[in-house]
Structure 1
Amino acid sequence: MTDTTQLDYLNGFGNEHETEAIDGALPKGCFSPQKVAYGLYAEQFSSTAFTAPRADNRRTWLYRIQPSVKQSDYQPADFPHFQSAIHADTVITPQALRWNPYPETENPLNFIESITTYAINGQTGLSGTAIHRYCATKSMNKQSFSNADAEMVIVPQQGQLNTTTEMGKLEAVPGEILVIPRGVKFSINLSIGMSGDTADKPASGYICENHGSPLTLPERGPVGANGFANDRDFQYPVACYEDVSGQFECITKFNGQFFRSEMSHSPMDVVAWVGNSAPYKYDLSRFNVINTVSYDHPDPSIFTVLTSKSDTPGVANLDFVIFPPRWMVAENTFRPPWFHRNIMSEFMGLIQGQYDAKEQGFLPGGASLHNAFTPHGPEAGVFTKASNAELKPVQYKDTMAFMFESRYPYSVTRSALNSPNRQKDYNDCWQSLARQFSINK
C-alpha cells in the first residue's frame, strides 16, 4: 500500500460521494442552481444512460472553473500501437500464446504514447474488451487523455503512477489497480514529487479496456455477507483543482480513433463534485481470499475482484480475477489448476513472484493468452511435482498473478503475434508429458 499521508481518499465502492476543495463550493439541495458559488460552472457527467435503473445509474455533478466545452475543434491524432477495434491487422487463433516482458523503449514515451495492444474482442464502445501493455518513461505533464469508448482497468507491474483526474489525485503502485470510467480526463506523471525526487521513474504494467457494462463487485452468493473484495476498501479521490492557464492538449479516443484538442486552461479544474461515477483504486492485498479446506481445486471465479456483466446471467463480458498470496490445504487433490478447456477466454499477467501452474517461462511483466476452448494447464514439470508432492499445508507467498477473462474470443494484433517477445516455443512446456496409462495401475 502506498503512503497516503499527503493524499486523502473517499472510501466505499459505488457510493455517492461528495467532496469540495473550498468550503461552500458544493451546492446544497439543487444540483444546478441559477448561480453556482465562487462563479463555478455546473456540469453533469453521466457514464450510464439517464434512465438506467437506480442501482446501475452512474453520474457525477462537477463544479468547475471552466466548462469542458471551452476547447478547440478536434483534430485527428495517431497512436498506431494503441488499438481497440478488430480489423485486418488482427488475427484470430486458438493457439496458446505467451510473451516475455517487453523491454523499455529507447525513445522516451509517456503513458498514452507507450500503450501497445495485445488482443481485442467484442465491439468497440458496446461489448468486449481490449488488452494492452504500457511502458512509460516520461510524464504526460500538460497532456490529458479521455477514453470515450471504454472504462480502463490499469494494473501497475513496475513503478508508481501519479494520476491527476478531473475529480482529484490518485497514486497507484504494483499491487494496486486503478480504474478510470469512460470519458473521464486524466493525466499520469511518473515523478515522485512528494518525496522531493522530481525525476521521472519508468513505469510499466497492463491495461484492460472494458467496452461493456461498468465494472461492479461480484455477488457473494452462498459465501454470504463477507469475503472477496469489500466495498470500504475502494478509494476515490477528493476534490483537488488546478487553476492554471496555458497551453493544454487533450487526447480523446472515440470509436477506436484518436483526436486531439487544445485548451487554454487545465482540464483538472473541478473544485467540487458529488456523485458515484469517478476514478478509484483498490489495494489487491485487501482481497479476502476464499478457498477449499477439504478437497479439489475450486474454479478461479472465487478470486473475482470485479466483473462486467453481460446480457447472459453468469457469463461475464469481463472478469478481473487475481491469484494472491494464500494457503493451500486441500487433501487428496492435484493442487495446481487442472488441465482444462472452457468457454471463457483467459488473458493472464504476472505482477510479482511465481504463478503456481507455470514455474518456468511465465515471468513478472509477461503475459499469456488461452482463447475459448484452447487446452491449457500446468507445464509438465509442475504436473510431475504436484502429482508426487506431500500434501501438507503450503503458503504461497510473494506472488500476485491476475486474469482478464471474457466471454468473447480474442483477436491478437499482428505486432503482438510477431513480437520477438512472444515465446514461439511456449507449446513445448507440455510436450514431455509422458503416457502413464496402465491397466495394471
Structure 2
Amino acid sequence: MNYNAAPEVLGKSVGQVTPGYMSGFGNSFETEALPGALPMGRNSPQRCAYGLYAEQLSGSPFTAPRGSNERSWLYRIRPSVRHSGRFAKADAGLWRTAPCHEHELPIAQLRWDPAPIPHADMTFLQGVQTMTTAGDANTQAGMAAHVYLITKSMVDQHFYNADGEMMFVPQQGSLKFVTEFGRIEAEPGEIVVIPRGVKFRVEIQGAPARGYICENYGGAFTLPERGPIGANCLANARDFLTPVAAYEDKDTPTELFVKWGGQLWMTKLPHSPIDVVAWHGNYAPYKYDLRTFSPVGAIGFDHPDPSIFTVLTSPSETAGTANIDFVIFPERWAVAENTFRPPWYHMNIMSEFMGLIYGVYDAKPQGFTPGGISLHNMMLPHGPDRQAFDHASNSELKPVKLTGTMAFMFETRYPQRVTEFAAKSATLQDDYADCWKGLEKRFDPNKP
C-alpha cells in the first residue's frame, strides 16, 4: 500500500496553521500529491503525468451559471468506470429516503432522548438511523435527517451517495473521512460536508462515535447572503477547510456501496477507489468549525429572527425560501434590554429538526440533552418550556454570556415525515408536550 499526501501547509484557520487543508469556501482549488501530477494550462492533456487518467466530476449541469457551476477535474490511477462492476442490492438497514410514507405524519411536537451507542461492531453504513424524510429525492428536492452510531471503522469498504450531499454533525467521538479528494478529521463542534458522488470511507478515532446527518437532495449548501449585515460575521469563507490531495495505491479487494434512487447497492472491486493523485476545481468535500461562527444579535431591545444564525443554506427556486437552512445556536452574549431573551413562541412555515451537540439549550433546560432530537413540524406551535419562561421573565436583564452550548437546526420548507423506526423508538418521549402544561392563564384585566 502506498498512501501519500502533500506535506506542505496550504491553509490557515483562525490564525492557526492547519496542515493538510486549503482555506476558503467555494474556491477553485488545485492540489497534487506528486509533483507535476496536475496538468498546467489544460484539463485533459493527451497523456497525463504518471500514467494517470483525467476525469471530471460535475455537481451541477454543464450550463449552470458560472457563479453556481460546480465541477472538479480529478487525475486518478484508474477512471471511475473501473469502479463499476456488477451491482447487487444491499441491505440499507434503517436508512430511508423521501418520499417515505411508512408511518403516518403525526400532528404533534416530538422529542427523542439520545440514541444509545451499541456494544456490537457497527460501521457507518450499518449505523445510519433515519429519523425524518421530506420532499422527494427523485426530484432533487428536500432532505432526510439521520442519526449515526459508529463503533467500528470501515476497512476495505467505500461509499458514495448519488441521491444527495451529506452534512455530518459529530456529537460524540471524532471521525476521519478518507475521501478521494483527501483526508478530513472532525470532532464534536465541527461539521463535514461530502458532495453528491464523492467516494469516501469513515473511520473512528478510537472511541465510538455518535452524531447527526443531513442528507440534502436539493441544491448544494452555500453561504447565505448577509443582506444588511454586510461583508463580515456569521460564517466567514476563510474558516472553511478543504483537504489537499491524497491517494491510495492499494490493490486489495474492496466493497463499493452506492446509494442511488433510495436504494443501497454494492459491487466488489480489486482495488481501492481512493486513487486521485491530483485535482483542481470547486466541487470538493470540506469541513467547518462551528466555534468560528461570529454571531450577531440585538444590542438594544427585541429578539431578531433565528435566521441570523444560519451557517449554510440549500437554496430553492423561490428566493428567500430555503430547501434547507443549517442554523446553529452557539456561545454568545445576551444583552437586549426589556426583552424576553429566549426564542419566542411561534408557528412556522418551515419544519425544524433540532439537535444538541453539547451544553444546555436556553429554551429547553430540561429534557433536551446532548445527542437528543426535537421535531417541530410546519405550523405546529412551539417555544420555551415553563422553566425557561419563568426564568427569562423574572431574571435581571444584565449582560449574560451563554457558554458551553451548541445546538443546531436542519430547517426545511417541506413537512418532515417521521420514519417507522423513529415513531416506535424507545427514545421517543411520550410526555414531551407536558413541558408546556405549566403555562397557565396569567391574564388579569385589572393589572395593566
TM-score higher than 0.5 here?
yes
1:115 paired residue number: 128
1:184 paired residue number: 198
Q: Aligned equivalents of 1:48 and 1:368: distance in 2? A: 33
What amino acid is the match of 2:166? M
2:163 paired residue number: 149
1:140 and 2:146 matched: no
Maintained 8 Å contact 1:139/1:190: yes
Q: Aligned equivalents of 1:305 and 1:239: distance in 2? A: 26
What amino acid is the match of 2:43? F
Aligned pair partner of 2:222 in 209, 216, 219? 216
Q: CA deviation at 1:6?
A: 8.2
Maintained 8 Å contact 1:94/1:372: no
Q: Aligned equivalents of 1:241 and 1:80: distance in 2? A: 30
Q: 1:167-206 maps to which residues of 2 (within 5 A)? A: 167-191=181-205, 200-206=206-212
Aligned pair partner of 1:396 in 390, 402, 406? 402
Structure 1's consecutive aligned runs of 4 or more residues displaced over 3 angstroms after TM superposition are: 4-7
1:98 paired residue number: 111
1:161 paired residue number: 175
What amino acid is the match of 1:412? V
Tell me which moved more, 121-130 or 300-309: 121-130
Q: CA deviation at 1:85?
A: 2.1
* Cα shift readout 1:128-179 (whole Å, capped 9, x = no counterpart): 0000000100000111110000010100000010110000000010000000
Q: CA deviation at 1:80?
A: 2.5
Aligned pair partner of 2:390 in 372, 384, 398? 384
What amino acid is the match of 1:159? G
Q: Aligned equivalents of 1:396 and 1:215: distance in 2? A: 28
* Cα shift readout 1:179-205 (whole Å, capped 9, x = no counterpart): 0000100101113xxxxxxxx420110
1:28 and 2:34 matched: no
Q: CA deviation at 1:381?
A: 1.1
Q: Aligned equivalents of 2:24 and 2:352: distance in 1? A: 29
Q: CA deviation at 1:47?
A: 0.9
Maintained 8 Å contact 1:94/1:370: no
Q: 1:40-439 maps to which residues of 2 (within 5 A)? A: 40-71=52-83, 72-125=85-138, 126-191=140-205, 200-439=206-445
Q: What's the Cα RMSD here?
A: 1.3
1:195 paired residue number: none
In structure 2, runs of 5+ residues without a counterpart are: 1-12
Q: CA deviation at 1:336?
A: 0.5
Q: CA deviation at 1:330?
A: 0.4
Q: CA deviation at 1:68?
A: 1.0
Maintained 8 Å contact 2:113/2:427: yes
Q: CA deviation at 1:32?
A: 0.5
Q: CA deviation at 1:5?
A: 7.4
Percent identical pairs in the alignment equals 56
Q: CA deviation at 1:122?
A: 0.4
Aligned pair partner of 1:8 in 13, 20, 38? 20
TM-score (norm 2): 0.95
SS of the residue 2:114 aligns to: coil
Q: CA deviation at 1:7?
A: 4.1
Q: Aligned equivalents of 2:129 and 2:22: distance in 1? A: 32
What amino acid is the match of 1:334? F
Aligned pair partner of 2:49 in 14, 20, 37? 37
Q: Aligned equivalents of 2:101 and 2:113: distance in 1? A: 25
Tell me which moved more, 76-85 or 362-371: 76-85
Tell me which moved more, 341-350 or 80-89: 80-89
What amino acid is the match of 2:148? Y
Q: Aligned equivalents of 2:120 and 2:237: distance in 1? A: 41
Alignment: residue pair count: 432
What amino acid is the match of 1:235? L
Maintained 8 Å contact 1:138/1:201: no
Maintained 8 Å contact 2:100/2:133: no
Maintained 8 Å contact 1:59/1:275: yes
SS of the residue 1:383 aligns to: helix
In structure 1, runs of 5+ residues without a counterpart are: 192-199
* Cα shift readout 1:364-404 (whole Å, capped 9, x = no counterpart): 00000000010000001111111111100000000000000
Q: Aligned equivalents of 2:350 and 2:435: distance in 1? A: 22
* Cα shift readout 1:1-48 (whole Å, capped 9, x = no counterpart): 99x978410111000100000010000111001100000000100011
SS of the residue 2:30 aligns to: strand
Q: CA deviation at 1:94?
A: 2.6
